[in-house]
Amino acid sequence: MSLILLIIGICLTPFVLLMIVNNDVLLDLGEKIFLWLISLSFVLSGILTLIYKQRYFSKLMMVTISIFVVLAVLEIGLRLGLSDLIAKQKIWAPLELQLADYSLNKKNSQVAYQNNYGFNDINHEIKKPIDAYRIAIIGDSFVWGHGVEDSVRWTRKLENFLNKNYDGIEVLHWGRNAWSSYDQIEFMKTEGYKYKPDLLINTFVINDPINQNTYDYYFFRRGGFVYRNLVYKYPGKLLGNILSLLFDYTSIIGAELFGISYDEWLENIYNQENLINYKKLLKDYKEFLNSEGIEYFFLFTPENNSAIIGDYFDKISAIMKELNIPHYNLFLEIEYTFSDYEPYELWASPVNNHPGNLVTQKIAELTYKYVLNNYLNVNASL
């Protein structure tokens, strides 16, 4: 038993686990901390079992059983209705909703796996079809469609508006989860420019100015390594609600203790030094697009009507005005349209704060009119 515990502990260290599974897998800070804690617990248990033998093993079993019973009772309580009370805080959601969101994104991923670049889109020929007007939309999870059906994505709705009213328009959905402006620009410089779009819509969301000096605010990312391999799988589903509840609250507490809460994370992204670097990036990008003869504009896409989004958008809008970069900030119109809504009412689902159907519909309508009026020189109508 001691030997088994020691071997398990050693195998669960990040270094050994990555060699066993896949050297290309990247673990964030929270995932590494989690693995080290689990590994350490197994190693210590193995050492103590070796030293105290039967006496320690019996106590270890009693403690393990007691913990399991407590967790099981709490799990039953969550399934019987306590979950509704806790879920109202919008920090945690019942496992059933988490699994629905996970399955939906897995479905979208199956399409993305078939794409040459991991986009949630078909593969398009590099050479543009004859007489086609090609619009490329580049962005992150908003463009990829995280948390929503394909038909709910604002880019798909925009494509439908265009194809319903005009012939010969091709829309390319270039979105990858977690892509920042740096990632999008790198793609354009290495691959995207080859497609020679007639119009490039660069989307901007609140966390796009990330650089290598910023950090993730999660300890245990919902839907990430810990959840995929423990909470979302059998026998994790037996205690999935209580485990996810503990992980979510541990993440929040840990973020506060170590000064990496979401608000602090955003403040770090928008600090003066990073914005200076971001301005340089945008200036260089503008020169590149001009040299390639690509017509473009930046589209600011808010996920909801939260005032903090508008404040951060204004900072980037000021930079783009200074650089004379064409852009369209949708925040004020989203804020006005949904002034009677709470931000969480605009989410994709109770477990996913990406833009839901109401917001994606409005983004698509506004973008459709903007493109027709400013780039296709057609009076827009829906």
Domains of the chain listed by start with CATH number = 2-87 (no CATH), 119-214+263-374 (3.40.50.1110), 216-258 (no CATH)
Residue 148 has pLDDT above 80, yes or no: yes
Question: What sign results for the dihedral spanned by CA atoms 240, 243, 244, 245?
Answer: positive
Residue 28 has pLDDT above 70, yes or no: no
> Can you read off the two tokens belonging to residue 289?
């697009």
Specify the DSSP class assigned to residue 147.
T
- Quick one: average pLDDT of 184-212? 93
In this prediction, residue 10 carries a pLDDT of 77
Higher pLDDT, 142 or 89: 142
> What's the CA gap between 240 and 225, in Å, rounded?
15
Phi, psi torsion values for 154, nearest 5 degrees: -70, -30
Residue 318 has pLDDT above 80, yes or no: yes
58 sits in which H/E element:
helix 29-77
Higher pLDDT, 246 or 138: 138
CB 133 within 8 A of CB 371: no
Question: What sign results for the dihedral spanned by CA atoms 160, 166, 172, 176?
Answer: negative
User: pTM of this prediction?
Assistant: 0.84
In this prediction, residue 210 carries a pLDDT of 79
Percent of the chain with pLDDT over 70: 86
Q: How far from each other are the two terminal CA atoms of the chain, in whole angstroms?
A: 69
User: Residue 178: which region, alpha, beta or left (left: phi > 0; alpha: psi -120 to 50)?
Assistant: left
- Quick one: average pLDDT of 201-226? 75
Confidence of residue 370 (pLDDT cuts 50, 70, 90): very high
In this prediction, residue 219 carries a pLDDT of 59
Residue 73 has pLDDT above 60, yes or no: yes
Q: Whole-number mean pLDDT of the chain?
A: 86
Confidence of residue 230 (pLDDT cuts 50, 70, 90): confident
C-alpha 180: how far from its chain's center? 11
Residue 214 has pLDDT above 60, yes or no: no
C-alpha 72: how far from its chain's center? 31
> What's the CA gap between 138 and 200, in Å, rounded?
8
- Quick one: average pLDDT of 320-346? 97
> What's the CA gap between 370 and 128, in Å, rounded?
23
**Preceding amide of 326 cis, omega within 30:** no
Higher pLDDT, 215 or 1: 1
> What's the CA gap between 257 and 261, in Å, rounded?
9
Most confident option among 63-72, 96-105, 259-268, 292-301:
292-301
In this prediction, residue 185 carries a pLDDT of 96
Residue 25 has pLDDT above 60, yes or no: no
Percent of the chain with pLDDT over 90: 55
CB 299 within 8 A of CB 142: no
**If you count DSSP H runs as helices and E runs as strands, how many of each does the chain have, helices first?**
15, 7
